[in-house]
A and B are shown apart, each in its own frame.
Chain A
């Protein structure tokens, strides 16, 4: 009778057990960081080639597909000429793409030289699978020397930090994700705060005292004291400062300098960041 009950409810029992395991994953993830992430690296390694192929297809191959779709239904005599034209167009588009990529890489090289820290360039091959969280997928992982916690930069400014690293792919938590936070200061007034992501796609600078001097248009840069981001990197620009309302702190809205939806190549800082002198920024 007991076995009969188990057999008849085996799907629900299996599902309930798996729910318990996923709750354990959640609990462990919340309280121990990367402790339960090892199997995830295996999944990332397994799916990385598919992901890279998909990114290549959407970035480079979409032109080829469109060109060849246009040829459907064309008379046989024109097929060869049209195919040649499509090929030439694709080549032209590819060359233009390479030129843009070359420009981006030149900019990254300049940034790399200006940083004077060991860093490696990586291509962005995907975004967050859920669409609502803010992460990016990079081509390159532990085989290239990447580690969780490393800073990710673009030529426009700070992008985020690595949160999961597989052998050949890794994921970046963008600075505008609600779980992200970095130590930064106002370049003009030297007021320090914590820049964090907010749900509606911007950034806020937290823990800035109401008496401090922060104005719209001020530039926010990294302080370097968090040991992740080098000091003085552009984070964004102050767009609004709200002094009204209760509370000890100002509400400082910041527009990120980097356009996270358009970033294609990034720089991973693989060297430990030297700690800056602690006294200069106030706040």
Chain B
């Protein structure tokens, strides 16, 4: 098996993205010899990485994950941040049930069943973090990110946001939505990279930025 290192604990083998993991399958992905397949159609972060964009994780970061859903992407992020901690916020109980399976088998995930648009509710739980990852398809998702940044992001900390054009405004062209989002983010962050997630996810934009 030929492995090509992409970033910390992330490899490419035969065009397939995998994370180094000692855990079993969480969402139906293949598992082999200590690796778990990372399916780009299921995870926007996987799609971004497969498109050649990487994030330079050290593995000991504190991460705040907004919109963790059932833990598909979270499971791989937990493989990468294997010496750090991830605060996983999700408001819907049903997917959270599945996410809790993940929490039980690993010890680097703190589950938070809270509304991400109200960060003050968990302000006495989450510490200052190095990284905020956000994937919540909501109209005001940039505001939600900013509110959480205010409460929890360290100076010089980074954000990665997945934007779904249709959930922000379905009446205008995605490009227009993306321009507005970028403008908003640029007022508080230094944008490091951004791009779309075609062909894996249609009309999606990712933005990786750093807090001034």
Q: Do A and B bind each other?
A: no
Q: Which residues of A contact B (CB under 8 A)?
A: none
